[in-house]
Structure 1
Amino acid sequence: MYGTVVRSAPLIPHLYRVVLGGEGLDDFADPTFADSYVNMFFLSEGAAYAPPFDTEAVRDLPREQRPYPRRISVRSWDQSARELTVDIAVHGEVGYAGRWALHARAGDRVQLRGPAGDFSPPEDAEAYLMVGDESALPAIAACLEAVPAGRSVVALVEVDGPDDELTLDSPGDLQVAYVHRAGRTEPERLLVDALGGLRLPPGRLSAFVHGEASSIRAVRRHLLGRALVDPSMLSCSPYWHRGHTDEEWRSIKKDWVRAMTAEIP
């Protein structure tokens, strides 16, 4: 399966929206979960093949010639137009996904697989909390739109600065708080320190905590250690790790998540 770029543009300085369409999405299924994602396959410079390609055949190529898969959140899927919208965090030429989004132009193709996912705001929650950074902002935005009407929901988002604040909407009773990273020391403390200063809504709380590994680990420890959320109502996943390349992070992620989970099961 592959998508063809229909249009692309920055939403905010560090988040680019890319809309995919074309016949390569004829078999794309309607996403089931609010946090649905697709695996997109990004090619190294000078690759001798292009989408669509045989994903099994390219596995036999040397590592530097194989595509680099990345999980990218589905921002929206327009069933009638057969258009898939993805928002991708961009920080210059760093990272395969961000670099591709920065240079994406109409007519470009990208191979993908999915969708998949595992979280939607649970109906039996009485209130909701969404926490993350730019990498999680597309998933947070999609989850906010799936909150039942009228229920309390808090979104706490870390971005580089004021220009990166994105307007968020929800049918729920939404409170949004942004924290700015630029010029701050100990960035891994920004979210958890800000969370400690928020008044969380009362009632059975569902929490969606995704983003940079050290930051979300601190938030997880805060929420579970203070019994602010039941473990069964917490969705927590590290997307990336400060100081590590994508490939370095992928090589240690399983062990890192295992250690994080063992702190407070």
Structure 2
Amino acid sequence: MYGEVIRTRVLTPHLMRVVLGGDGLAGFAAPQHADAYVNCFFLPAAARYGVPFEDAAVRELPREQRPYPRRITVRAWDESRRELTLDIAVHGDEGYAGRWAVAARPGDRLQMRGPAGGYRPDPDADSYLFVGDESALPAIAVCAESVPAGRPVQVVAEVHDGHDEIALDCPGELQVTWLHRSGVADPEHLLADVVAAMTLPAGVVSAFVHGEAAATRAVRRVLLADRLVDADDLSCSPYWRSGHDDEQWRAVKGAWVREVAAETFAAPAS
């Protein structure tokens, strides 16, 4: 399955919107999760083939010629127009996905598989908490749009500076806290410190915490150690890790996730 670039738009200095369409999306299934993503395959400069390509054939190629898979959040899917919107984080010259998005022009093709996902705001929850950085903003935006009307929704979002803030639509009672890491020496606990100081509404909190690995781990510890959110109501996953490029992070992500999942917390002192 593949899409052809219809149009692109710069949302912020670190977020690029790419809208795909065309007959290659004929088999695309409507996403069932707020954090739905597609596995996209970005071609390296050494590639001597184009899109569409056969998976089995490219797996036999040398590493430098094989496509690089990356999970990209589905920002929107318009079935009637057969248009797929992807908001892609951009980090200068780092990352295949961001570089491709910046250079994308109408007619360019992107091959993918999916969609898949795992989280949707629980419609029976009493309130919602969505936490993350630029890499999680597309999913947070979908989450905010997916809550029942009138429910309390708190978003805590870390971005470089004010130029990276985006508008969020929400049928709930939305409160957004923007955190700027520009000039912060150690931003690892920036999100966690704010979450720890928050007062969450009573009842069941459906929480979504995604973004940089160490930062999401720190938030997870606060939420579970302080019994602010039940583990069954928490979706927490690292999209990337500071100090690691895409390939380095892919190599160690599984072990990291297992280590975090194994953490246990004693009940807070009464």
TM class, shorter-length: over 0.9
User: What SS does the aligned partner of 1:239 have?
Assistant: strand
Alpha-carbon contact 2:132-2:158 (below 8 Å) kept: yes
How do residues 225-240 of structure 1 correspond to structure 2 at under 5 angstroms?
225-240=225-240
Letter of the structure 1 residue corresponding to residue 72 of structure 2? I
The TM-score with structure 2 as length reference comes to 0.96
- Residue of structure 2 in register with 1:197 after alignment: 197
Alpha-carbon contact 1:209-1:220 (below 8 Å) kept: yes
User: What SS does the aligned partner of 1:112 have?
Assistant: strand
1:49 and 2:49 matched: yes
Equivalenced residue count is 265
- Residue of structure 2 in register with 1:163 after alignment: 163
How do residues 1-265 of structure 1 correspond to structure 2 at under 5 angstroms?
1-264=1-264
Query: Can you give the 5+ residue segments of structure 2 that lack an aligned partner in the other structure?
Result: 266-270
- Cα distance in 2 between the residues matched to 1:130 and 1:264: 22
Which 10-residue stretch deviates more, 192-201 or 139-148? 192-201
The TM-score with structure 1 as length reference comes to 0.98
Alpha-carbon contact 1:153-1:201 (below 8 Å) kept: no
- Cα distance in 1 between the residues matched to 2:250 and 2:231: 25
| Offset at residue 199 of structure 1 (A) | 2.4
- Cα distance in 1 between the residues matched to 2:171 and 2:220: 26
Alpha-carbon contact 2:46-2:64 (below 8 Å) kept: no
- Cα distance in 2 between the residues matched to 1:176 and 1:112: 33
- Cα distance in 2 between the residues matched to 1:163 and 1:234: 29
| Offset at residue 185 of structure 1 (A) | 1.2
- Residue of structure 1 in register with 2:268 after alignment: none
| Offset at residue 123 of structure 1 (A) | 1.6
- Cα distance in 1 between the residues matched to 2:198 and 2:101: 34
Letter of the structure 2 residue corresponding to residue 136 of structure 1? A
- Cα distance in 1 between the residues matched to 2:3 and 2:110: 6
- Cα distance in 2 between the residues matched to 1:25 and 1:255: 34
Letter of the structure 2 residue corresponding to residue 22 of structure 1? G
User: What SS does the aligned partner of 2:55 have?
Assistant: coil
| Offset at residue 17 of structure 1 (A) | 0.3
Alpha-carbon contact 2:14-2:89 (below 8 Å) kept: yes
